[in-house]
Amino acid sequence: MSDNWTLADIPDLDGKVAVVTGANAGLGLEITKGLAGAGARVIMACRNQSKAEAAAELVRAGNPRGSVETGSLDLANLASIAAFAEGLNSSLDRIDILANNAGLMALDESRTDDGFEMQLGVNHLGHFALTGQLLPTLLATPDSRVVSMSSMGHRPGKMHFGDLNSENHKYSRWGAYFQSKLANLLFTAELQRRLARTGASTIAVAAHPGASHTDLGNEGSSILNKLVTPLGKLYTQSAATGALPFLRAATEPGVPGDAYFGPRLLSWGRPVRETPTKRARNEADAVRLWNLSEELTGISYLD
């Protein structure tokens, strides 16, 4: 695998279908541009439809080889996820790439419509439910991929299995974020194990963007939240560069299941294969998280 991978290395995606969550801004918008630019049909799954349509027009203005369209998806609402998945399963005969990109970072304490801690609910549980409900179409597509966006923040992350939703211990905006990003990698590993047992050609992989300048972290009210934008402009790489590890994980031929990509220098640079932390590779924790995720969302698959 090359250490100098760029957008030019994305193979021809003509005829492929991709679903990108959180596609209207930041990393999701750059992922959409990369996939559509290589010829894919991209469904931009977003909560805010006016922002989604504006982003879609921006992508179209770049004259990509592929096409983009928008779909309404609120990952903080299980009913919205079910409706979105039902619509895609009934209208599409293939999904080649499910890009579980959308995320929240360092929010003030809040809850999803179903009562989950917001960061765990959107970053992990929402994507867990979405993946399960789109799985029939993914499995019907040869060599499809489920790609999840993790973070360097998984490294200090710890799973609070007795209190995943921060109901019985003091809420920490960063602790909740780190937990959700660790959950993304535990989910990827367990999803890959279960897919492999079925003999399916579908694989699960993951990526992280390093230190990339996006609008993540702006929603919170802490002093650190307020410093995210000014510090980000000085010390981070562009969202376009930050999206490259995800695009490589999603498109490079021959990528094995459970592969994890990130910037070459951890925070910056070209995308390369990485190794998650020992916690992220704990199989018992991955199974425990899977079982709890099924219990919380009411969505069971690949038993």
235 is catalytic: no
Distance of alpha carbon 89 from alpha carbon 107, whole angstroms = 32
Residue 156 · residue 100 · CB < 8 Å: no
Residue 223 has, within 13 A of its CA and on its CB side, a CA count of 0
Strands 203-207 and 97-100: unpaired
| Backbone phi, psi, residue 245, to 5° | -60, -40
Distance of alpha carbon 128 from alpha carbon 291, whole angstroms = 11
Distance of alpha carbon 93 from alpha carbon 206, whole angstroms = 24
- DSSP H/E element including 246: helix 244-251
Residues facing residue 98 across a β-bridge: 19, 146
The alpha-carbon radius of gyration of the chain (Å, integer) is 18
- DSSP H/E element including 67: strand 67-72
Q: Is the dihedral of CA 183, 109, 212, 70 positive or negative?
A: positive
Residues facing residue 41 across a β-bridge: 17, 67
Instruction: Give the count of beta carbons closer than 10 Å to the beta carbon of residue 242.
Output: 28
> Which of the residues are catalytic?
177
